[in-house]
């Protein structure tokens, strides 16, 4: 079997999972837990810092380019604990220049003073889970806020000094019309946010909606919603740079771009996932933490916090790279493929040529990008890379 050869330092991001919400939404399959009366804020932050210390030998000396604090509802945490967390990270890891630090917030769990505290702690980007501005649609998907709360949250964020705000919005909600979906987008645009994550509601297994799906728009209506929404956002200056991500100029989410460019990320917190390139060992390691917050905290600082760790088989790396990289409307180069996977380009060259012949990919010199047709039929494109084997296998 050919050994992987890594010739460049892979950019590193840090993901932090805070797993509690006020209540669990019926469509959500994330690792989140209803918060109850009290949360162990200080104990959990202690566990996060122990987790980070335990992982330091695997990322030693590598600067963190971005931090994403996700959940759950991270805005349930007091600003003082977020400040203690970020200060503890700075003491243990070097930061790259002007790192992007994102925190997710729920419009039903925010206040002006807390936003100001997050900004002072070093958070410079907010991602607010609006999902819709329509009160009826919000009630149908189990959200705890209303449309006015959503608009107020953006105003409070601006008042606290945030100049980089993302809104999460969904379409294809129960009994939602195309006009209602466009109304949500128009309200989001009117608020002047820099970034939108706009994606279709899906029925995930092992969720209440997965077991008992509500009445949803049909496939034709969903397709029309998507096309009309894409056109609306483009006309308003929000460019689609990924399947469900739209941004004003220079406002793309750097953290998510690192995922999609097949960068490395260290995940700490209950249920968090990591991908770390161990260049000296010629390997890429994936791992995940215990999902139970209590088991995670009990195991912090030791291998007991892990639920799984494995080396990614070399023959899986071309597909893993393409699954991420072809999501964004940006060419990649032959060199970037080799640097991020440690694999030789000749392992995928014939497959890329086949994708070009089928109109799914476009290669210009050393650059490759998915065509519009390829992005529309991304699963067909990715299927081409599913059976690539490592040299010698």
User: Domain spans of the chain?
Assistant: 12-257, 315-383
Tokens of 32: 């989140």
Average pLDDT over residues 135-143: 91
Strand ranges inside 42-86, DSSP E: 64-71
Does the domain at 315-383 match CATH 3.30.1360.70? Answer given as: no
Q: What are the Cα distances from residue 163, in Å, to 120, 123, 124, 127, 251?
A: 13, 11, 8, 12, 10
Per-residue pLDDT reduced to its tens digit, 153-212? 999 999 999 999 999 999 999 999 999 999 999 999 999 999 999 999 999 998 899 899
Range with lowest mean pLDDT among 204-218, 244-258, 337-351: 204-218
* Distance in angstroms (rounded) separating the CA atoms of residues 393 and 390: 6
**pLDDT higher than threshold 60 for residue 24:** yes
Tell me if domain 12-257 and domain 315-383 are identical in fold: no
Provide the H-helix boundaries in 191-278.
208-211, 219-235, 254-260
Residue 308 DSSP SS3: strand
Q: Are strands 33-34 and 20-21 parallel, antiparallel or unpaired?
A: parallel
Q: Are strands 95-105 and 125-131 parallel, antiparallel or unpaired?
A: parallel
In sequence order, the 6+-apart residues with CB closer than 8 A to the CB of 40 are: 293, 297
pTM of the full structure: 0.95
- CATH number for the region 12-257 comes to 3.20.20.70
Could you count the other beta carbons within 10 Å of the beta carbon of residue 83? 17
If one compares 144 and 214, the residue with the highest pLDDT of the two is 214
Could you tell me the pLDDT band of residue 37, with boundaries at 50, 70 and 90? low
The pLDDT assigned to 191 comes to 96
Average pLDDT over residues 104-133: 91
User: Which sign does the torsion angle of CA 103, 34, 168, 269 carry?
Assistant: positive
What residues form DSSP beta bridges with 264? 12
């Amino acid at each position: 079997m050919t050994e992987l050869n890594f010739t460049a330092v892979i950019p590193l991001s840090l993901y932090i999972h805070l797993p509690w919400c006020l209540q669990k939404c019926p469509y959500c399959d994330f690792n989140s837990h209803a918060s109850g009366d009290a949360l162990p804020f200080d104990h959990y932050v202690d566990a996060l810092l122990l987790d980070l210390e335990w992982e330091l030998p695997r990322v030693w000396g590598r600067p963190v380019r971005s931090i994403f604090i996700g959940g759950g509802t991270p805005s349930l945490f007091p600003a003082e604990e977020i400040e203690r967390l970020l200060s503890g990270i700075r003491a243990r890891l070097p930061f790259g220049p002007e790192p992007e630090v994102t925190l997710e917030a729920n419009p039903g769990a925010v206040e002006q003073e807390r936003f100001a505290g997050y900004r002072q702690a070093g958070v410079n980007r907010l991602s607010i889970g609006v999902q819709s501005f329509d009160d009826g649609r919000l009630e149908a998907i189990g959200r705890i806020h209303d449309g006015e709360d959503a608009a107020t949250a953006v105003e409070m964020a601006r008042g606290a000094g945030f100049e980089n705000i993302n809104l999460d919005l969904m379409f294809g909600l129960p009994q939602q019309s195309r006009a209602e979906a466009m109304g949500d987008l128009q309200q989001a645009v009117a608020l002047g946010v820099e970034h939108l994550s706009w994606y279709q509601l899906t029925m995930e297994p092992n969720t209440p909606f997965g077991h008992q799906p509500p009445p949803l728009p049909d496939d034709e209506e969903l397709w029309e919603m998507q096309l009309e929404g894409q056109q609306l956002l483009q006309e308003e200056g929000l460019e689609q740079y990924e399947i469900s991500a739209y941004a004003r100029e220079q406002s793309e989410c750097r953290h998510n771009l690192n995922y999609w460019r097949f960068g490395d990320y260290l995940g700490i917190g209950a249920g968090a996932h990591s991908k770390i390139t161990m260049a000296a060992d010629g390997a890429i390691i994936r791992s995940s933490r215990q999902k139970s917050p209590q088991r995670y905290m009990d195991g912090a600082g030791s291998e007991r916090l892990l639920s799984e760790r494995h080396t990614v088989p070399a023959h899986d790396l071309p597909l893993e790279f393409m699954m991420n990289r072809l999501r964004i409307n940006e060419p990649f180069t032959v060199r970037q493929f080799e640097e991020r996977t440690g694999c030789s380009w000749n392992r995928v060259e014939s497959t890329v040529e086949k994708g070009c012949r089928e109109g799914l990919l476009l290669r210009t010199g050393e650059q490759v990008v998915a065509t519009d047709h390829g992005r529309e039929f991304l699963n067909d494109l990715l299927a081409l890379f599913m059976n690539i084997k490592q040299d010698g296998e």
